[in-house]
């Protein structure tokens, strides 16, 4: 019966190692990793996705079993690979969450806040609105299919047992933080410039007529102008989202070490 042992261990290795990478990916994939999606649902999605892609995943190196020391190290590496790829999707939501918070703080709409189900902290309603809108647009543009395709490609470019992610990809992912702030400022720039003009006008009015109550008057004017700017800024949402999405996909392709042909839209 000893001949069954390598067959059983080989079958477990072919299933467990891809499952670890896919589980890490879904654990950090935005719109799924939050507390709004139960852990059992994410686990079932990981199992279903693993079973579906198993015929396309290259077999692990011969003799690499999950219950050995080398196998445990490989499991840890696979989880980290999945977490890194899924973390790139979080940056899309964070760009627009930061833009919404910047708009809310500038226009006085930051007083209205809700508990963010992802982070568990209080966040302005405008930031929550941008986050929900970015999630809906992400799924409408089949962004989840693009990142699931990258996850499947990673098994070809980063085979099981080949070590961790390449250093140039990790360095590029770290530098993406600057682009995240850049994209947030680009989205909120219209509100920032508009409120600068409004505050300058209120300051001139206060200087010309000191009897005006600038606090009560300025707060109402700022909120009304902020709502108008927020409605008008929706025209630029799709353009900003497309540019940010393409940039995130491009950085993820560099992280995985593959080409982005067919994944990036116009």
- 101 lies in which domain range? 4-256
Whole-angstrom distance, CA of residue 132 vs CA of residue 151: 24
Residues 70 and 80 sit within 8 Å (Cβ to Cβ): no
Of 249, 99, 81, 256, which is closest to residue 176 (Cα–Cα)?
249
Q: Is residue 261 a part of any domain in this protein?
A: no
Whole-angstrom distance, CA of residue 195 vs CA of residue 5: 70
Lowest-pLDDT range of 74-78, 193-197, 261-265: 261-265
Looking at residue 119, its pLDDT comes to 54
Q: Is residue 109 a part of any domain in this protein?
A: yes
Q: Using one digit for the tens of pLDDT, what is the confidence trace for 98-134?
A: 888 888 777 766 666 655 555 555 667 777 788 888 8
- CB neighbours (10 Å) of residue 44? 11
Q: Is residue 203 a part of any domain in this protein?
A: yes
pLDDT at 264 over 60: no
Looking at residue 72, its pLDDT comes to 82
Q: Is residue 168 a part of any domain in this protein?
A: yes
Lowest-pLDDT range of 67-71, 144-148, 240-244, 258-262: 258-262
Q: Is residue 264 a part of any domain in this protein?
A: no
Structural domains in the chain (count): 1
Share of the chain above pLDDT 70, in %: 82
Of 133, 110, 96, which is closest to residue 195 (Cα–Cα)?
110
Whole-angstrom distance, CA of residue 218 vs CA of residue 212: 10
Looking at residue 97, its pLDDT comes to 81
Structure tokens belonging to residue 133? 């809108």
Q: Is residue 250 a part of any domain in this protein?
A: yes
User: How much is the pTM?
Assistant: 0.78
Alpha-carbon 110 to chain mean position? 23
Q: Is residue 16 a part of any domain in this protein?
A: yes
Q: Is residue 195 a part of any domain in this protein?
A: yes
Q: Which residue has the higher pLDDT, 77 or 257?
A: 77
Lowest-pLDDT range of 154-158, 159-163, 169-173: 169-173
Whole-angstrom distance, CA of residue 114 vs CA of residue 213: 30
Residues 236 and 96 sit within 8 Å (Cβ to Cβ): no
Q: Using one digit for the tens of pLDDT, what is the confidence trace for 182-236?
A: 888 888 888 888 888 887 887 777 777 666 666 667 677 777 887 888 888 788 8
Contacts (Cβ under 8 Å, ≥6 apart) of 159? 58, 60
């Amino acid at each position: 019966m000893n001949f069954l042992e390598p067959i059983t261990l080989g079958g477990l290795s072919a299933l467990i190692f891809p499952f670890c990478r896919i589980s890490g990916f879904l654990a950090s994939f935005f719109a799924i990793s939050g507390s709004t999606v139960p852990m059992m649902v994410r686990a079932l999605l990981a199992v279903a996705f693993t079973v579906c892609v198993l015929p396309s995943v290259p077999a692990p190196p011969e003799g690499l079993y999950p219950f050995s020391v080398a196998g445990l190290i490989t499991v840890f590496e696979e989880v980290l690979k999945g977490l890194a790829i899924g973390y790139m999707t979080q940056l899309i939501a964070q760009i627009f969450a930061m833009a919404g918070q910047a708009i809310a703080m500038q226009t006085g709409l930051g007083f209205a806040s809700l508990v963010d189900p992802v982070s568990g902290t209080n966040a302005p309603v405008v930031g929550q609105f941008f986050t929900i809108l970015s999630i809906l647009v992400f799924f409408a543009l089949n962004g989840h299919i693009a990142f699931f395709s990258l996850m499947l490609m990673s098994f070809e470019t980063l085979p099981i047992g080949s070590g961790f992610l390449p250093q140039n990809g990790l360095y590029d992912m770290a530098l993406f933080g600057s682009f995240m702030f850049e994209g947030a400022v680009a989205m909120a720039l219209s509100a920032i410039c508009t409120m600068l003009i409004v505050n300058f006008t209120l300051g001139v009015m206060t200087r010309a007529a000191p009897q005006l109550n600038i606090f009560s008057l300025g707060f109402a004017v700022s909120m009304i102008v902020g709502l108008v700017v927020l409605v008008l800024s929706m025209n630029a949402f799709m353009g900003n989202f497309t540019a940010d999405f393409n940039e995130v996909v491009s950085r993820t392709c560099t992280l995985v070490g593959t080409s982005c042909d067919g994944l990036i839209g116009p």
